[in-house]
Structure 1
Amino acid sequence: MEQLAIDSLGELPKAAEAVITASGGRGVVAFFGAMGAGKTTLIREICTQLGVADNVTSPTFALVNHYRSGRGDNIFHFDFYRIEKLDEAYDLGYDEYFDSGALCLVEWPEKIEPLLPSDTLRVYIETTGPDSRKITIG
């Protein structure tokens, strides 16, 4: 597991680069952290580094947003905060996304933990101060 200490938003690019490197730009990446820890902010930076031109926002109500990288690769951004039961993820067709080989960035993965593939890259974001975070990738 890799651990990074982020002291300000200015250091976010190094965390995003570490996540991209660890994931190889593909597969399911699950972001764990309390409300306000910076999951969406980190995902926005990852998408920026991958050349996404769209405005990256949390898909809290839509459950999934679709972006294209600068190379035209699919990126799917999930937010499972509002789901109440696993059936809602099944209804969304989560498996088609997760099995697509595309990069799938998942907020609130604890809501669908049993559905995460065994090779899911896990990113833990811990608030250590107003602008500082400890990020564990593994």
Structure 2
Amino acid sequence: MSQLIAHSLDDIPFVAKEILEQIGNRKVVAFYAEMGSGKTTLISAVLRAMGIESPEGSPTYSLVNSYESPYYGEVMHFDVYRLNSVEEALDAGVEELLYSGAICFVEWAEIIEPLLPDEAMKVRITINDAGERLIQID
């Protein structure tokens, strides 16, 4: 487990590289944070660090954006905020995608927690009184 501090947006690329270094063989990275805390910004920075030149931002309406990384192969960015239950996620095919072998970054992971693999990396973002992002990686 490690904790990083992003004092400003300038620190986000360094946090993204640290997340990549800690992924290891895991395929799912689950993000937990309040609305507006920077999940999408951080995931976009990780995607860029993976060699994906123009990540599309949060797939809020499409549920998942799929990318091809020149270094990591297939990468998926999920935003499950609009799902109301695990059953909706199952109906949408989320479980199959999570176990497809692609690297998956999941925003609002708490909504589909039962579907996540036990070894999923967990990234928690909180904001302190100074407005800095505290990023805990488990």
Partner residue, 1:15 = 15
Q: Secondary structure at the match of 1:119?
A: coil
Partner residue, 2:95 = 95
Unaligned runs of 5+ in 2: none
Partner residue, 1:132 = 132
Tell me, yes or no, if the aligned pair for 1:2 and 1:136 is still in contact at 8 Å. yes
> Is the counterpart of residue 43 in structure 1 residue 78 in structure 2?
no
1:13 deviation in Å?
1.2
Q: Which moved more, 1:41-50 or 1:126-135?
A: 126-135
Equivalence map 1:40-119=2 (5 Å): 40-71=40-71, 73-119=73-119
Unaligned runs of 5+ in 1: none
> Paired residues, what number?
138
Q: Secondary structure at the match of 2:135?
A: strand
Equivalence map 1:22-41=2 (5 Å): 22-24=22-24, 26-41=26-41
Tell me, yes or no, if the aligned pair for 2:81 and 2:111 is still in contact at 8 Å. yes
Length-normalised TM-score, structure 1 = 0.93
* Identical counterparts, % of pairs: 43
Q: Is the alpha carbon distance of 1:128 and 1:119 closer, same or farther for their aligned partners in structure 2, counting shifts above 3 Å?
A: same
1:24 deviation in Å?
2.7
Q: 1:16-61: per-residue Cα shift (whole Å, max 9, x none)?
A: 0111111137500001000000000000000001011233310111
Length-normalised TM-score, structure 2 = 0.93
Report runs of 4+ in structure 1 exceeding 2 Å deviation.
53-56
* 1:55 aligned partner, one-letter code: P
C-alpha RMSD over aligned residues: 1.6
* 1:48 aligned partner, one-letter code: R
In the alignment, the residues of structure 2 paired with residue 131 and residue 48 of structure 1 have an alpha-carbon distance, to the nearest angstrom, of 24
Tell me, yes or no, if the aligned pair for 1:9 and 1:131 is still in contact at 8 Å. no
